[in-house]
Structure 1
């Protein structure tokens, strides 16, 4: 009895001391000065939003609304992915259809799919299903114990020859026209965009606008970033599609797209533009398109290129020509003369006049002296970057 009573007194005293300590700690925390509070939580950081999937109260940079600095980078308008029209420029859950198209070739291809290909596919599928049912019911062994010995039927043979030919013609005529339109050379005054695939990120050059260069990496989720590093928000775009730097292109102006790669084959694809162009090392592929509507459009690398193939998103801001010119000036570039044909030198990676080869030659010249004909190799690239920070990519991740 005495020992039990002593235990009760000790337990009560412990509980009382714990309560006093807790109250004292709460009072001390409430009385903490602003300077102390600033020390406890780094300045400019805040807990990540719940919609970013952050666990453990991770901290990220506190930005003004919208919370993604990339939405208004260097003079580009603040395009918010959540404010875009539903289903335009990005995929939607549960939707099994082609994205709304914003280029003339895309609209033409969409019409081709809905008015010619889909009806033909439906007709052929239904016809084959009906024929299979008829054969299984009418010509089964129970109804035909003695098989027919018919070997020729002129009408059927003519039909199954002509009908496929007509189907192929119906597909080929609009298909060839669409293919021709997709690879029609860009007119004078087009904006040249060179997209370079890397393992595993995209880099871009604007050779007609003062050699602007940017690098685009995928934005990580809130639970994948280090403290102080910006994570993807809903305003940046969907998961696996948002980038830290976006390509900016003008609306209503022809775009001359040139693709290449530095390592393996990649593919630059944006569904809303009806564009999928392979990026091949040592080769320049080219196509052209014109964006009809301003907005934010997403795509991905569509060629299996290695372990992080799924982490090479593409984000394009389509803006008015005036906004595009302001962005070019903010990036340190220059606008070409209106209607002037592109005269920029666009070397292939590994070519004799590419930037990497010229740099190697410059180092060799510096070590061994001038070349035999007395001319030095240029030490600067014709497409050198301006002072715009673009990042170095995630080559090792």
Structure 2
């Protein structure tokens, strides 16, 4: 279940005897690398304590919509943005009814309305309640609204009845959760991504670089892996863990990055140039540390190779995706860059906005192709990467070319 690695799972626990299984479910999700935060309804707290789930998840358990401390930072909105998936297990008949009707009368239902992340529920109730026409209608409505149902299973219930309505076991739910991140849209595709900054040496201790953290490129790599691609990540100097099942090549300078990319191109189907490559480098690199002798200092800079332009001219030519980090006239400048560099797609984001872009965990972007524009709203870089990869896969399979 490698698809769960580094995923943000927001686990909702509602009232019912199956709430005790939430403890084991948290353990299973964390064993496979997921980060888990828990939201409990008032009824759930009658069956299992928040302290138990806090100890297992390693995070405070959220129970109140109107928590003064959390609301000072719009806590429920932050939780909604944090989640890669909202998983409600167990999901009671009452919760299903309220979610179907779009109610927002507690923290959990409010989060479900506020999140852009997919929602999955694991129903748990008496067999007669599950078979009731109202519950069946609610289940059908939720599925039509793209809510995924995990189960329910059949078997002996706490009340002594036997039949459908039993919550699936934690192992099974964890497996189904992992499957939510495996789209298969890039099965068999070979993809190369550059990420992070490059550093251009001035002398043995000084260099020119930029603020790129590499987070967006690494998130794209993980999303592509989850979609079934074979991924090579060419990374500048960043302190980020390598996604599982990913080949990573570490480089320092733009010239080293170009060399590493060139070595991958003959077998590359899609290239994503996410790295913030330095446009210029010092013409010469001092062999010894430059001493501070004068009030001013001049360094002659020369142009670095334009990596993505080189890739776009390579034969066979991969599907080419570039990035445009702009501070003004975002769409116009990005569109000009796409045409100038002969790219299939360019992903434009506003780095003048301190809430997104460099060093932030969140981002927003506009995907621009010859066929039009597609906006991705503010979300975590993980969520944004999944949406971007889905769109890239769609364009790649459609065979759309730059114009």
Measured against the shorter chain, the TM-score band is: under 0.3
Q: Based on CA coordinates, which of the two structures has the bigger radius of gyration?
A: 1
Higher strand residue share: 2
The TM-score, its normalising length taken from structure 2, stands at: 0.26
TM-score (norm. length: structure 1)? 0.27
Pick 1 or 2: higher relative contact order, CA cutoff 8 A, min separation 6: 1
